[in-house]
């Protein structure tokens, strides 16, 4: 007779656990007494209590050992949003997520928590205090968003309260914190090239930036509250700092904290957006001849010049969420963590 090993409830797997959010999540899970299997295409660190499995999440056979006897899986892997490789996004975020769901189902995983994004409802127009019932973007602004929508739908539709896999999606927005590979590094790179002198639009647009530890907290609460009878099943939840801030104030605080000048001169939003569209088209047309990647993409310009902040009331109500780290504290911890990006650093 074969006896099935009952997975320990303090075991979990983090797909994408070598990444920025993934590693912060792994560290907090370890602190809370979980043992963690990390599955990622690359291994970026070593930690006691973590077993690494290196592989591509599109490969079910590679995934199986990492998800075996694990009741809880976090899926926070994705190609970098800055990539413009549509086929890669489609393969990893859509096909790969299908594979993750199949593997979870076949191996008897009980809960799957997906890191989605608040951008799944953003199409360039203002969103003020947006709730989870806003429809998905009909015209997603880039391939990343297009495939995050498909991915979230797949995961939420897979939720089976009748003894099968339970699923929930967390939609963070503008994650920042120590070791972030994109927001602060891109900002500093743009400033070092002298391009952060300008404010796009009138500078009053409010945006959510969310400290990474709050995002982690939201993921763990979601996992621990996900049960067949809970309202979380098959639902998306915004996780924010609950402190919308002017986009340009946030950028200025980070820049000034690192010793750079804050942007000062205003440029009309429509002018910069039009130029970004032109550049994007040019880059597309010239791609066979020269490869160049504009810094100011239409998506980035839209994010910099419109309101986009979201309500996290549903997460407060259904899982007792409350941000643990304030924006001011988060910004100061982030700035301190980048000595090598300070103005004048070698």
Ligand X SMILES: CC(C)CCC[C@@H](C)[C@H]1CC[C@H]2C3=C(CC[C@]12C)[C@@]1(C)CC[C@H](O)[C@@H](C(=O)O)[C@@H]1CC3
CB of 234 to ligand NAD, least distance (A): 19
Active-site residue identified among 34, 53, 122, 144: 144
Stretch that binds ligand NAD, among 78-86, 223-231, 247-255, 297-305 (CB under 6 A): 78-86
Maximal CA-CA distance, the chain? 75
Please return the burial class of 259, using the count of CB atoms within 10 Å of its CB with bins 0-12, 13-18 and 19+: middle
Asked whether the beta carbons of 25 and 77 are under 8 A apart, the reply is no
144 is catalytic: yes
- Select the residue interacting with ligand X from 8, 43, 102, 182 (CB under 6 A): 182
The option from ligand X, ligand NAD, none interacting with 268 (CB < 5 to 8 A, set by class) reads none
Residue corresponding to tokens 């070698």 = 346
Residue 56 within binding range of ligand NAD, rule CB under 6 A: yes
Return the residues of window 80-109 that contact ligand X according to CB under 6 A.
81
Q: Angle, nearest 10°, between helix axes 183-192 and 247-257?
A: 70
305 binds ligand NAD (CB under 6 A): no
Q: Which three-class secondary structure state does DSSP give residue 199?
A: strand
Assign 231 to helix, strand or coil: coil
Distance, in Å, from the CA atom of 183 to the CA atom of 104, rounded to the nearest integer, reads: 32
Q: Which residues of 272-288 are buried (b: 16+ CB within 10 A; e: fewer)?
A: bbeebeebbeebeeeee
Dihedral angle over CA of 86, 89, 95, 101, nearest 10: -160
Name residue, tokens 């994010």.
303
User: 187-214: string of b/e by CB count within 10 Å (b at 16+)?
Assistant: bbebbeeeebeebbbebebbbbbbbbbb
190 contact choice in ligand NAD, ligand X, none (CB below 5 to 8 Å, kind-dependent): ligand X
Nearest 5°: the CA angle 44, 50, 52 is: 55
Instruction: List the one residue from 99, 190, 240, 252 that touches ligand X (CB under 6 A).
Output: 190
Instruction: Answer with the entry of ligand NAD, ligand X, none that 186 interacts with (C-beta below 5 to 8 A by kind).
Output: ligand X
Among 79, 108, 231, 259, contact with ligand NAD (rule: CB under 6 A): 79
Q: Interface with ligand NAD includes 172 (CB under 6 A)? A: yes
Per-position x/- string for 209-248, each x denoting binding to ligand X as judged by CB under 6 A, each - no binding: ----------------------------------------
Q: For ligand X, which stretch binds (CB under 6 A), given 83-91, 170-178, 217-225, 326-334?
A: 170-178
Structure tokens at 117: 């994004």
Site for ligand NAD in 113-142 (CB under 6 A): 115, 117
Sequence-distant (6+) residues with CB within 8 A of 163 are 228
State which of positions 294-323 bind ligand X (CB under 6 A). 295-296, 300, 303-304
Site membership for ligand NAD, residue 175 (CB under 6 A): yes
**Residue 22 near which of ligand NAD, ligand X, none (CB within 5-8 Å, type-dependent):** ligand NAD
Residues with catalytic roles: 144
List residues binding ligand NAD (CB under 6 A): 16, 18-22, 40-42, 56-58, 76-80, 92, 96, 115, 117, 148, 172, 174-175, 181
């Amino acid at each position: 007779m074969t006896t099935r090993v009952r997975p320990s409830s303090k075991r979990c797997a983090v797909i994408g656990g070598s990444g920025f959010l993934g590693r912060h999540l792994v560290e907090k899970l370890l602190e809370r007494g979980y043992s963690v299997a990390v599955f990622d295409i690359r291994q970026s660190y070593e930690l006691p209590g973590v077993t690494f499995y290196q592989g591509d999440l599109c490969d079910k056979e590679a995934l199986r050992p990492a998800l075996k006897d694990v009741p809880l899986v976090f899926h926070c892997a994705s190609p970098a949003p800055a990539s413009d490789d549509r086929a890669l996004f489609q393969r990893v975020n859509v096909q790969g997520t299908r594979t993750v769901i199949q593997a979870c189902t076949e191996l008897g995983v009980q809960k799957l928590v997906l890191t989605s994004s608040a951008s799944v409802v953003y199409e360039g127009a203002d969103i003020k205090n947006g709730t989870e019932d806003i429809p998905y973007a009909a015209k997603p602004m880039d391939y990343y968003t297009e495939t995050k929508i498909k991915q979230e739908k797949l995961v939420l539709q897979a939720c089976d309260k009748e003894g099968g896999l339970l699923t929930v999606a967390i939609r963070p927005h503008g994650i920042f914190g120590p070791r972030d590979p994109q927001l602060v590094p891109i900002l500093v790179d743009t400033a070092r090239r002298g391009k952060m002198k300008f404010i796009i639009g009138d500078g009053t647009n409010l945006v959510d930036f969310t400290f990474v530890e709050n995002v982690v907290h939201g993921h763990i609460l979601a996992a621990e509250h996900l049960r067949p009878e809970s309202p979380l099943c098959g639902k998306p939840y915004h996780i924010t700092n609950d402190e919308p801030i002017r986009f340009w104030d946030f950028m200025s605080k980070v820049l000034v904290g690192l010793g750079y000048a804050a942007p000062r001169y205003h440029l009309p939003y429509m002018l910069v957006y039009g130029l970004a569209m032109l550049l994007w088209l040019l880059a597309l047309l010239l791609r066979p001849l020269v490869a160049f990647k504009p810094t100011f993409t239409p998506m980035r310009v839209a994010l910099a010049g419109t309101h986009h902040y979201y309500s996290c009331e549903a997460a407060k109500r259904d899982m007792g969420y409350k941000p643990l780290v304030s924006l001011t504290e988060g910004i100061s911890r982030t700035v301190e963590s980048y000595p090598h990006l300070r103005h004048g650093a070698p």
